[in-house]
Amino acid sequence: MSTLVNTSRSTPSGGTKRAASHAPRTAIVAAHAKLNLRLAVLARETSGYHAIETVFHRLALADEVRITLQPQGTRTIRCSVDVGPAQDNLAYRAAAAYLDTAQWATGFAIEILKRIPVRGGLGGGSADAAATLRGLQALQQAAMRAGEGAGVVCTSAAVLELAARIGADVPFLTTDAAMALAWGRGDRLLALDPLPERWVALVVPEVGIDTAEAYQWIADARQMADVQPKDGAQRNDGARRGAPSVLHLWQLANWSEIVPLVRNDFTAVVAERHHFIAQGLAALREAGAVVAEMSGSGSTMFGIFERQPDAEAIARAAGAAVLVTTTATGPCRTELKA
């Protein structure tokens, strides 16, 4: 983090006068991708949203989000890939919501360098939104320390509330936790100690999956089978109201313990419509993955490996592009500049 040092200059009276200190104007934030090591889709609420129960783990793979403060009224966003209209971009919506909540009379210019595959179930758009919230909070705090007008304090709790309104993955990605259990709409979080760093191979098909459609596929499949899961408040496996069924995950210390708990309710309904899912998962398992599953609503599949995997061999077997990264174990990087 770069800071500006106050300087002194001579005055006509022979004394000194301290020059004004200026707060940083730019935040550069790493927006990490995530995996869902477990993703259970529970009952649909009256609002139309499904409750979920998931275990998140961040990856080293990350977009870079640069937020620069601008004159009030200026709100722009640029991305290295086409992700649709600016006003629909989650990072843009996060920035607008933050400024409105903080009553901060400033504008913003956001630049996103994309490295996370789009519409792949890795939380790329959510990660960018979370990074934007973290960056703006850091800039606001710096402005307040410098004595500049920066609205009202936007606490960490308020930021998490904003994150929950944007998307189910955003609250987790707004925190510094490398691993967490989440339930409800993803806004109820229990931070977990990260598992030991491991290699990760990501099979990235050319076809992306629309999350809303994937939820509808699950709803349709359950309606046809006349099966409706009960939410956390109705189940008998929670020790208290709303408790997730895998709350004991806080005791996990190694990857072998997570293997029996791996689950993704989206995999079957997506694989039914896209046969490359089964092919990709088979390629990861044949390459020696200790865990292989689809992340989020897909279509990206991941494999966890003890040793660096052969990306080219997996790509040939899967018939799709492969990215190799690692799991993340440390906090997210945020750098402030003048």
> Residue 266's domain is classified under what CATH number?
3.30.70.890
CA atoms of 196 and 111, how far apart (whole Å): 32
Share of the chain above pLDDT 90, in %: 70
- Residue 233: is its pLDDT beyond 60? no
What number of residues does the chain have? Answer: 338
Residue 47 located in a structural domain: yes
Q: What is the pTM of this model?
A: 0.87
CA atoms of 99 and 116, how far apart (whole Å): 26
Task: Check whether residue 231 and residue 184 sit in a common domain.
Answer: no
Asked if 169 is an active-site residue, the reply is yes
Token duo for residue 180:
């967490």
| 8-53 pLDDT tens trace | 233 334 443 434 458 999 999 999 999 999 999 987 776 667 788 9
Task: Check whether residue 190 and residue 203 sit in a common domain.
Answer: no
Task: Check whether residue 111 and residue 158 sit in a common domain.
Answer: yes
CA atoms of 203 and 234, how far apart (whole Å): 37
Task: Check whether residue 37 and residue 182 sit in a common domain.
Answer: yes
Task: Check whether residue 169 and residue 229 sit in a common domain.
Answer: no
CA atoms of 93 and 328, how far apart (whole Å): 26
Task: Check whether residue 252 and residue 172 sit in a common domain.
Answer: no
Task: Check whether residue 38 and residue 145 sit in a common domain.
Answer: yes
User: Of 63, 128, 169, 231, which residue is the catalytic one?
Assistant: 169
SS3 (DSSP) at 140? helix
| 60-109 pLDDT tens trace | 999 999 999 999 999 999 999 988 888 899 999 999 999 999 999 999 99
CA neighbor of 131 nearest in space, from 336, 334, 337? 334
Residue 184 CB-density burial (10 A; 0-12 exposed, 13-18 middle, 19+ buried):
buried
- Residue 1: is its pLDDT beyond 70? no
Structural domain containing residue 254: 199-326
Enumerate the H helices of the chain as residue ranges: 90-102, 124-145, 156-166, 170-174, 211-225, 255-258, 266-273, 276-286, 311-318
- Residue 271: is its pLDDT beyond 90? yes
Residue 331 located in a structural domain: no
What does R_g of the chain's alpha carbons equal in angstroms?
Answer: 22
**What is the residue-averaged pLDDT of the chain?**
87
Token duo for residue 156:
């960490």
Task: Check whether residue 215 and residue 121 sit in a common domain.
Answer: no
CA atoms of 119 and 62, how far apart (whole Å): 15
Residue 208 located in a structural domain: yes
Task: Check whether residue 138 and residue 250 sit in a common domain.
Answer: no
Instruction: Give φ, ψ of 175 to 5 degrees.
Output: -80, 175
Residue 2 located in a structural domain: no
* Domain final residue pick, 163, 194, 225: 194
- Residue 288: is its pLDDT beyond 50? yes
Token duo for residue 88:
């629909």
* Domain final residue pick, 170, 194, 218: 194
- Residue 142: is its pLDDT beyond 80? yes
Residue 3 located in a structural domain: no
Token duo for residue 72:
């009030």
Per-residue pLDDT, 82: 87
CATH of the domain at 34: 3.30.230.10
User: Of 34, 114, 231, 265, which residue is the catalytic one?
Assistant: 34
Residue 8 located in a structural domain: no
Residue 14 located in a structural domain: no
* Domain final residue pick, 151, 175, 194: 194
Contact partners, residue 141, CB within 8 Å, separation at least 6: none
Task: Check whether residue 209 and residue 282 sit in a common domain.
Answer: yes
- Residue 216: is its pLDDT beyond 50? yes
Task: Check whether residue 237 and residue 190 sit in a common domain.
Answer: no
Over residues 268-287, mean pLDDT: 97
**Amino acid of residue 79:** C
The domain tally of the chain equals: 2
